Amino acid sequence: MSTPALATFDLTKDFSIGFWRKRPYRALDRLTLEITAGEVFGLLGPNGAGKTTTLKLLMQLIFPTSGRAELLGRPLGELSVKRRIGYLPENPYFYDYLTAEELLTYFAGLFGYTGREGRTRASRLLDQVGIGAERRLQLRKFSKGMLQRVGIAQAIINDPELVIFDEPMSGLDPLGRRDVRALVLQLRDRGCTVLFSSHVLGDAEALCSRVAILARGRLIADGSLSDMLAFKARGWELVVAGIDERSVPVAGSRVRRIVQIGYGRYAFELPLEPPPEQLMAELTAAGAHLVSLNPIRESLEDFFIEHVTAPDVTSIRREVAGESRP
Amino acid sequence: MKATAQIAINVFRESVRDKVLYNLVLFAILLIGASYLLGQLTAGQDVKIIKDLGLSATSLFGVFIAVFIGIGLVSKEVERRSIYALLPKPIYRYQLVLGKYVGLLLTLAINVAVMAVALYAVLLYVSSGVPEIVRRGWDAPALDPALLKAIGLILVELMLITAIALFFSTFSTPILSAAFTFGLFIAGHFSADLRNFDQVVDSPSAVRLARGLYWVLPNLAQFDVKAQVVHGQPVSLGYMALASGYAALYIAMLLAVAMYVFSRRDFK
């Protein structure tokens, strides 16, 4: 079995809160995770769930109260491992007196790419993230989205084997989001493992092979998206056109909801049972023609809301982990 | 080592692009220049006054630069969150502290050099038209190489002050760091009084406390040889070596503690 790209073992972090009477606040509670090399993994959860705490622990920006973690099969903090990973912090801020080009050249230098090699790398990556002539402007003149692009470029300056992005889509416009999605897929295609945290479930659905959901510092679910969402079709969406108004069936046990999309064009939400074939046959007999028939599956968002808002995340964690883990 | 050098160069670049630094250096050079005017008011003492004011300005503005840039070296990285992108790079935390320190020293050394050149330029201008007979009455020649000894010890003192500022910067806010550093700077110049505290106070416990403080606080007065140099009194190389050795030991201890504190710190 190959070495996981990332593994945490009962990783726990307590912070002290309060001014006079300090009391511990558990930001992350016994997180055990394993990410296989080459996969795109999403760390999801609402605000305060412990996503950024997890990533900061992995980057050793903070130290665990208990538990441990490994990156690329080695303990945290080894320089040989740091050379093989990239990290984008949440809402990144860089030295605003530097230009984008200087910043990337500086960071390239820390990886040992000095002189021309560092500058070439910096230039190539700035091209890749869409920073053009602005690369010679000081970063204090950059917008949030442009800083995010620079942040992504600096995270991959060393051609890492493992990249950790904390909210990579934050502050990006739709074009920027599209570019980052493409970049993540490119990284995956060349064998790089990508771990990213996000609030945007659509990004996770589009990119991740597996996700973990955190809430209140605890892992409440982890597994492949197909495990989480498969076989959870909860009905059908049937779209037909060319139907006479009088032939439209009445909403009831066979049809949950009817939406008129346009003249003679309707969308029907059907329950899982009975199968939709009978209704389709009746509509076709009435002169309608079929536009589409799709299963209505539980989305990641439905799953997320259902589980994150549950009153007792501990019991859910047990239940989901028991179901989804091999 | 390469990473430390890269970090140091970046600190130097930041200082060079900081307008506050230019203002301080410009102000110091103006003050050195203005000492020429002040010297005109005091017959026969102009060279001494220029040397005294020039060295004082070099020291004072050096302290301002060391404190105001030194206190922000680490705390600004944390406050602005730039440390989140830097620490995951293949560097040890101690290299960050060391690189920051070396970078600021580089800045200080260049600034002190610029101020020294300005001082010598003013002295050259003042002394150029002075007849030989007047020059013979001076305690020391205008372009006295011994000035470099005073400037050298000013630089050593600045190195120590920078280490103090950096030390506080690793765990405290910039305002508190500035207050602590200036406090130590002032106390350090009067630490000799603590040694002789028994001559003014009867309480044995107060004397013991004062003695303890005398040993703990940095003795900065020993780096001040301005008066000797200006009056042409010798400053031995042995004295300079001893003072520099003391500073090196103190700096090493401060940096070691700063690195230890920084290496254990959480960046939430």
**Domain stops at, among A173, A194, A224:** A224
pLDDT, residue A41, reads 95
Same domain (yes/no): A204, A63: yes
Interface residue of B82, B92, B107, B260 to substitute, partner A, most A CBs within 10 Å: B82
Q: Say if the Cβ atoms of B82 and A59 lie within 8 Å.
A: no
How far apart are the CA of A76 and the nearest CA of chain B, in angstroms? 10
Same domain (yes/no): A265, A162: no
pLDDT, residue B42, reads 66
How many contacts does A have with B, using Cβ atoms within 8 A? 75
- Average pLDDT score over residue span A84-95: 92
Q: Say if the Cβ atoms of B267 and A87 lie within 8 Å.
A: no
B86 vs B81: CA distance, rounded Å = 9
> Nearest residue on chain B to A138, judged by CA atoms?
B17
| Chain A residues touching chain B at CB-CB below 8 Å | 15, 56, 59-63, 79, 82-83, 85, 87-89, 91-95, 97-98, 102, 106-107, 109-112, 114, 151, 154
- Average pLDDT score over residue span B174-192: 89
pLDDT, residue A287, reads 87
pLDDT, residue A296, reads 82
Tell me the domain boundaries of chain B.
2-263
Phi-psi label, residue A191: left if phi above 0, alpha if psi -120 to 50, beta otherwise: left
Highest mean pLDDT pick, A154-158, A167-171, A205-209, A289-293: A154-158
Is position A92 within any domain?
A: yes
Quote the mean pLDDT of chain B.
87
| Chain B residues touching chain A at CB-CB below 8 Å | 2-3, 6-7, 10, 13-14, 17-18, 80-85, 87-92, 264, 266-268
- Average pLDDT score over residue span A27-52: 92
**Which residues of B are less than 8 Å from A97 in CB distance?**
13-14, 17-18
Same domain (yes/no): A214, A249: no
pLDDT, residue B93, reads 95
**What pLDDT digit, counting tens, does each position of A40-74 carry?**
999 988 888 899 999 999 999 999 999 999 999 99
Same domain (yes/no): A24, A150: yes
Question: B63-96 burial string, b = 16+ CB within 10 Å, else e?
Answer: bbbbbbbbbbbbbbbbeebbbbbbbbbbbbbbbb
How far apart are the CA of B77 and the nearest CA of chain A, in angstroms? 9
Q: Say if the Cβ atoms of A93 and B82 lie within 8 Å.
A: yes
Query: Which of A15, A61, A112 lies at the smallest CB-CB distance from B267?
Result: A61
Quote the mean pLDDT of chain A.
86
Six token digits for residue A185: 């897929």
pLDDT at A312 over 70: no
Q: CB–CB of B211/B195 below 8 Å?
A: yes
- Average pLDDT score over residue span B31-49: 72
pLDDT at A6 over 90: yes
Six token digits for residue A208: 């991740």
The 3-state secondary structure of chain A reads: CCCCCEEEEEEEEEEEECCCCCEEEEEEEEEEEEECCCCEEEEECCCCCCHHHHHHHHCCCCCCCEEEEEECCEECCCHHHHCCEEEECCCCCCCCCCEHHHHHHHHHHHCCCCHHHHHHHHHHHHHHCCCCHHHHCEHHHCCHHHHHHHHHHHHCCCCCCEEEEECCCCCCCHHHHHHHHHHHHHHHHCCCEEEEEECCHHHHHHHCCEEEEEECCEEEEEEEHHHHHCCCEEEEEEEEECCCHHHCCCCCCCCCEEEEEECCEEEEEECCCCCCHHHHHHHHHCCCEEEEEEEEECCHHHHHHHHHCCCCHHHHHHHHHHHHCC
Instruction: Using pLDDT thresholds of 50, 70 and 90, give the confidence band for residue B2.
Output: confident
pLDDT, residue B37, reads 75
Q: Between residues B128 and B167, which one has the greater pLDDT?
A: B167
Is position A31 within any domain?
A: yes
- Nearest residue to B10 via CA among B114, B115, B89, B116: B89
Same domain (yes/no): A88, A71: yes
Interface residue of B89, B92, B261, B268 to substitute, partner A, most A CBs within 10 Å: B89
Highest mean pLDDT pick, A233-242, B10-19, B174-183, B240-249: B240-249
B113 vs B108: CA distance, rounded Å = 8
> Nearest residue on chain B to A95, judged by CA atoms?
B82
How far apart are the CA of A42 and the nearest CA of chain B, in angstroms? 20
Q: Say if the Cβ atoms of B2 and A114 lie within 8 Å.
A: yes
Same domain (yes/no): A32, A167: yes
- Average pLDDT score over residue span B106-133: 85
**Which residues of B are less than 8 Å from A93 in CB distance?**
80-82, 84-85
Residue bearing tokens 């989804």: A324
Q: Say if the Cβ atoms of B81 and A89 lie within 8 Å.
A: yes
Interface residue of A52, A61, A65 to substitute, partner B, most B CBs within 10 Å: A61
Same domain (yes/no): A33, A124: yes
For residue A138, the number of C-alpha atoms closer than 13 Å in the C-beta half-sphere is: 8
Instruction: Using pLDDT thresholds of 50, 70 and 90, give the confidence band for residue A102.
Output: very high
Instruction: Using pLDDT thresholds of 50, 70 and 90, give the confidence band for residue B181.
Output: very high
pLDDT at B55 over 70: yes
Same domain (yes/no): A203, A237: no
pLDDT, residue A316, reads 42
- Average pLDDT score over residue span A221-246: 80
**What pLDDT digit, counting tens, does each position of A241-281 carry?**
988 888 788 777 788 888 988 888 999 999 888 888 888 88
Q: Between residues A5 and A199, which one has the greater pLDDT?
A: A5
Its ipTM equals 0.84
Q: What is the tally of structural domains in chain A?
A: 2
pLDDT, residue B43, reads 59
Q: Which of A68-72, A202-206, B174-178 has the lowest mean pLDDT?
A: A202-206
Distance in Å from the first CA to the final CA of chain B: 28
- Which range marks the domain in which residue A122 is found? 6-224
> Nearest residue on chain A to B264, judged by CA atoms?
A63
Share of chain B above pLDDT 70, in %: 97
Same domain (yes/no): A282, A218: no
Q: Between residues A54 and B34, which one has the greater pLDDT?
A: A54
Q: Which of A87-96, A305-314, B62-71, B110-119 has the lowest mean pLDDT?
A: A305-314
Instruction: Using pLDDT thresholds of 50, 70 and 90, give the confidence band for residue B193.
Output: confident
Same domain (yes/no): A200, A61: yes
Same domain (yes/no): A166, A256: no
Instruction: Using pLDDT thresholds of 50, 70 and 90, give the confidence band for residue B213.
Output: confident
- Average pLDDT score over residue span B214-226: 90
Is position A64 within any domain?
A: yes
Q: Say if the Cβ atoms of B268 and A62 lie within 8 Å.
A: yes
How far apart are the CA of B69 and the nearest CA of chain A, in angstroms? 15
∠ at Cα A283 (A277, A284), nearest 5°?
85
- The CATH number linked to A134 is 3.40.50.300
Is position A119 within any domain?
A: yes
**Which residues of A are less than 8 Å from B83 in CB distance?**
61
Q: Between residues B143 and B99, which one has the greater pLDDT?
A: B99
pLDDT at B108 over 70: yes
> Nearest residue on chain A to B3, judged by CA atoms?
A110
